Every structure is written in C-alpha cells, then in structure tokens.
Chains A and B, each alone.
Chain A
Amino acid sequence: MLHVIVCIKQVPMVSELPWDPKTGTLKRETAQGMMDPSARRALEAALQIKADPASGPVRITAVSMGPPMAEEVLYEARALGADQGVLLTDPCMAGADTCMTAMILGTFIRNHCPDTGLILCGAMSSDSETAQVGPQLAEDLDIPAIGYARRLELADGGIRVERHVDDFLEVMEMDLPGLVTMDHADESDRYTPRYVALGGVEKAFAAGGIQVMDGAALGLDKEFNALRSSPTKIMDVYSPVTQKEGRVLTGAVKKMVDTLFDDYGKIISSAMGKDLKTHDHDEDI
C-alpha cells in the first residue's frame, strides 16, 4: 500500500480578492477561500497514480495547515477522491512562515503517518509564490525531493519524474519516501485538475467530519508559537505604485529627434539591444 500525502493550502479566491487600500493588506477574514491551484494539480497527480492499476493499492491523505475555514478545501479534496482529510489548526500556528509551516507539516507526517511513501505539493502557492514549503518539508523529514515536476510515474519501488528546465527535459529517478512538487500547467498538461462531481461533494460530507488536530494532538511543544519561531519577518506589504506619464515633444523634427536621443537614447538602446549612437542612419535610407 502506497500512502500518498498531498499538502494543500487554502488561498484567497483571486476573483474576489478584498484588498484594504489603506493598509495595503489582504482582508483574509472576508476573502473567500479556494484550493491553491498548484496544490490541486498535486492532488490530481495523486488521483491519477491511484487510478493506475499498475500502482497497486494507494491511499491518499490530504493535509492542510490553516485556519478552521480551511476545512473546506479538505472536503473538496475528499470530493475529488482523497481518502482522508486532516486539518492542522491551532492559534499557536498562526503567523507561521514557510519554515514553520514545513516544520508543522513535518511533525504531522513524522508522528502520525510513519508509512508515508510519497509527498506531493504544489510548486508554489498562488498567494505567496515562495516555492519553499515543499523543499523545506523534505529537509525537515530528511528525505529526497524533486521540484517542478511535469510528469510522475512509479518505477521499481521509486518514482520517475520529468521536469523542464530551460529548454531541457530532465528525467530523474528517486527512492521513496520522497517529496515531489508539481510545476504549473503547460500546454500538453496531463494534470489539469478534474472538475468536482456533485455526488462527490455529497459523499465527502456524508462520510463524516474532517480530522482536526491542534498543536497538542500533533505533538508540538506546549510553548510553541509559530509567529515567534518564524525566521522570516514580513516588514511591510503594499501595492507598488507605478506612474505612467506620457510626454509630448513639439517643435522642429530635428530638435524633437535630438531630444529623443538625448533623454531616452540609453533606454531605447538597451531595449533594442544595440547602441543607437553608432547606428548609421544612412543605411536605413
């Protein structure tokens, strides 16, 4: 039996992102949540491994660390076909950076899922785009990891992973237990997430509640405080203000061209990739 753990983050729904322009921060308490798109691809990969008869018996556990409302994405994961959903939630976990998130997920896997064979994560979440949690979780568990996978295949007790790096296709093999993060979609994508079937939602809720674990149940230290323990401190979050201004040049053509070259020559040169000063105008005529 291969036990696959899929790490799922609930992210704010992009289309309904309430932004507080005064503080420049996201109003998370009113934001509708959704399953992080790249985590959903990771779940899709797990579901395809499970559906493949060659994989043998596979069990999928979806786990998320987040506020109580993150339960919803775990029900969604169950509706899609995960066997189990586990929510790690506790006020002491609030404010966790990627390092502490990985440590908390790692504690869950080490203490409660010793039979884990494969851990799948999205490469990076849509709301913070750090791409750190997956690799940090592998470090925490001291297991190998491959990032930005495009294709997975179980092979000889391990896993074969394809990934694109620049213009190359890399094919790698890794022993299990191991961790793989899933790249974003490409054109010939085999992991486009399936739609949730309505009967799946009904079944997910009929099957009983999501398993919820707090810090104590997880085995975290009583004094643990994720915000204090996080090495990353966010100093400020704001929307960058960009000003776009047009400038109208007037007067004789020669004067306008000279002004253009004097004031913007360097910018134009770098955009064109050649030095305008050495350009011979006669060639163009």
Chain B
Amino acid sequence: MDFNPCMKHQLIRKTVKEFAENEIRHRAAEMDQGPGFPQDLLEKMKPLHYFGLQTPTHLGGAGLDTISYAIVVEEISRVSAALGLCITVHNSVGIYPILRFGTREQQRQFVPPMAAGESIGAFCLTEANAGSDAGGVETVARKTDHGFVLNGTKIFVTNGGICGTILVFAVSDTDPSQSSVFIVENHTPGFSVGEIEDLCGMRANPVASLFFEDCAIPADHCLGKVGQGLKIGLTALDTGRIGIAAQALGIAQAAFEESVAYAKSRQQFKQPISRFQTIQNYLADMAVQIDASRLLLYRAAALKDKGRPFSAEAAMAKLHCSTTARMVTNLAVQIHGGYGYSKEYDVERYFRDAKVTEIYEGTSEIQRMVIARDILTRPV
C-alpha cells in the first residue's frame, strides 16, 4: 500500500495550483460579491482543458483519470469554491452522463463544445417538491410525433445562469413512475432562466431556476433510453459526489492553511496564539479530519479508476469531506476571532461556502442512507 501520489498526480496538482494561485486567488473575493465568473478567466481556462477534464481526447478533453479530476477540483476550490463548483458540476453531472449513457451521435454533437468550455453544463433534478426524493419530480415530458415536449420548473440549478447544455430529469406525462433525462440546449424555444438565487455561499456561481414551457426537443435528445432517468441520475450523482467531496476538501484545506498562518502571527498576551493549547487542539483536530477526508476521497477516486464499485465509498468521502469542511471552517473563524467574521478575511467566505457541501448532490442524510444500504446488503 503506497500513500504517496505518483509523479503524474503530483504534476497535475502543481499545474493546477500554479494556475489557481496566479490567476484566481486575487479575484476570488471579488467574484464572491456577485454572480458570474470573469469571462477572461474562463477564456484562460478553456484551452487548458478545465472544462473537459475526463472527456476523452478524441472529443476534445484531457482524458484525465478520476484521481486527477479530484485533484483539479480540490485545488481550484482551495482558492474559489464557487468556481470549483462550476468545474465539478460541468464535468461530472454535465458531461459524464452523456459519455456514459449517450449514443455516439449525442456524444459527437454535445460533448466537444462542452469540453471546450463553449457550452457550460448543468444537471437539474431538484424542484420545489423534489430533492432528495426524486419520486416527487413534477416536470413532465410529453411524447409527440417529433420528439418530446417538456413542461416544468427546476430550482437551485448550479451554473443555471451560464448553462448552455442542460440535462433535465423529467417524468412521463402518462406514467409518472417512468423518468428520463433529456438534453436541452439553452436556445431551445420555451426554455428560460429565472432570477439568480441570493445564496449564503458559492455566490460567484450563478445558481438559478430554469423554466421549461412547452419546450420541444427532438426524439434523439433523450439521453440513453426512455425510462432510464433514475439510473442515469443515480450514476451521475455517484460521480458528482467525488467532485463535491473534492470541493469540500479544498475549502477545508484553504481554511486550515489560513488558520495556521494566522495562529502563528496573531499575538495575544505577548505571544503568538499558536502557543496556546486550545488553539493547538483546534489545529490538530482540523489536520486529522482533513487527512482522513483526503484518504477517503482518493480511495473512492482510485476505485472508480479501477472500474470497481465505488458508490458507498464516494458517499463516505462526500459525507466526511463536507462535515470536515463545515467543522474546519467553523474553527477557522473561531481562531481568527472577530477578523474571521469580517469579509476582509477569506475564512469568512470559506465558512459560508462550506455549509452547502452538506446539502447538494445528496445531503449528508442521503449519504448515510447510501452507506447504510451498502452495509446491510453486503454478504455477511
């Protein structure tokens, strides 16, 4: 058992870190002020394959393995979790389902512009009455002679304000137990974007509601087969979990680094506060949880790369990384005291960004269900 990353993964980390430190860090706080990402930053990221991480090279991507993918999301999220969110959602639940379930023609048509970053991906399942319970979805797909007509409203869609290619989870108008995933392009008549949500964290990401009003799409825009919706959704979320775990880990790592630096420099009672046992205990707890998170995350990623089952392991990673992010950012604010509560310090942003990692792409409660189901169905 070797816990050291191989040279390729070390180089991937250095590569992303260099870009993130030079191009993103100084703009992250400003990006947090309003929705949307600076266009020039996105333009710089496009040719470097940030929008086609695991897309095969023949479709214009980088062809990375899952470990590399997790490293990229972790390092981008270490400086801007909202941008890390854009990248992970686009790559995992945006592109991946098309690669996994799409026909060759669907892959050829939709993936290259997405991998090039020209069309940003979104995946929408959540509705006013459906989230953890996908059975509550009310967006309806009506079969017509030419294809399908979609009607419904999706909420809290990550990348909603900038999406070009949208995967829509909808049920059949004749049989609500039959769900499918449809590929909708943002120029389709009947599609529109609602107001950008005013959220606690991840504020740079234009999370929005999406409306589908008699939105007619051709028959070949149904991803996979009719009725495969739940399977596609669950598979997408398994992969998405690795991304969100990586994002949460990046936030925790950032908060930890700021805390160590601050504890060493902040003087109280004529000594750095890092000399106090309470602060040392905080830092030790943070370090342990971050390390455990990292091991869980990269184990799940390695399993996926080996083609082995990884669903429960991804759920464990997502559960632990997001819990860690919330706990570490909380302690980071505590260590910073009043300054940590001020927007002048990045830990305030990390604190706000961390919470949602326990909610989206499967709440912590749902992760526990996935893990428990795996435990209880294992042969004894």
Where the two chains meet, the residues of A that have a C-beta atom closer than 8 Å to any C-beta of B are 34, 71-72, 75-76, 79, 195-199, 201-203, 205
Residues in A whose Cβ lies below 8 Å from that of B48: 195-198
Residue of A nearest to B8 (CB): A205
B7/A197 in contact, CB under 8 A: no
A72/B49 in contact, CB under 8 A: no
Residues in B whose Cβ lies below 8 Å from that of A201: 8, 11-12, 15, 62, 68
Bound complex: CA of A75 vs CA of B12, how far in Å? 11
* 5 residue pairs, one from A and one from B, having the closest CB atoms: A199-B62, A198-B62, A198-B49, A196-B15, A205-B8
A-B pair count, CB < 8 Å, reads 58
Residues in B whose Cβ lies below 8 Å from that of A79: 11, 15
B68/A72 in contact, CB under 8 A: no
Bound complex: CA of A196 vs CA of B62, how far in Å? 12
| With A72-B10, A75-B7 as contacts: A198 and B50 at CB distance below 8 Å | yes
Bound complex: CA of A226 vs CA of B10, how far in Å? 30
Residues in A whose Cβ lies below 8 Å from that of B68: 198, 201-202
B7/A195 in contact, CB under 8 A: no
B47/A198 in contact, CB under 8 A: no
Give the distance to chain A from B163, nearest Cβ to Cβ, in Å. 22
Chain B 38-79: CB-based contact to A (< 8 A → 1; otherwise 0): 000000100111101100010001111000100010000000
- Could you say which of B11, B16, B44, B61 contacts A199, with CB atoms under 8 Å apart? B61
Chain B 1-16: CB-based contact to A (< 8 A → 1; otherwise 0): 0000001101110111
Residues in A whose Cβ lies below 8 Å from that of B16: 198
Residues in B whose Cβ lies below 8 Å from that of A34: 14
Bound complex: CA of A71 vs CA of B7, how far in Å? 9
Interface size on B, residues (CB 8 A): 24
Where the two chains meet, the residues of B that have a C-beta atom closer than 8 Å to any C-beta of A are 7-8, 10-12, 14-16, 18-19, 44, 47-50, 52-53, 57, 61-64, 68, 72
Residues in A whose Cβ lies below 8 Å from that of B63: 199, 202
Bound complex: CA of A202 vs CA of B63, how far in Å? 7
Give the distance to chain B from A249, nearest Cβ to Cβ, in Å. 28
B7/A72 in contact, CB under 8 A: yes
Bound complex: CA of A54 vs CA of B50, how far in Å? 31
B8/A199 in contact, CB under 8 A: no
Bound complex: CA of A168 vs CA of B142, how far in Å? 75
Give the distance to chain A from B6, nearest Cβ to Cβ, in Å. 9
Residue of B nearest to A199 (CB): B62
Bound complex: CA of A34 vs CA of B21, how far in Å? 15
Give the distance to chain A from B91, nearest Cβ to Cβ, in Å. 11
B49/A76 in contact, CB under 8 A: no
- Could you say which of B8, B19, B57 contacts A75, with CB atoms under 8 Å apart? B8
B64/A198 in contact, CB under 8 A: yes
Bound complex: CA of A216 vs CA of B201, how far in Å? 60
B62/A202 in contact, CB under 8 A: yes
Most buried by B among A75, A199, A205: A199
Give the distance to chain A from B253, nearest Cβ to Cβ, in Å. 15
A72/B62 in contact, CB under 8 A: no
Bound complex: CA of A71 vs CA of B63, how far in Å? 22
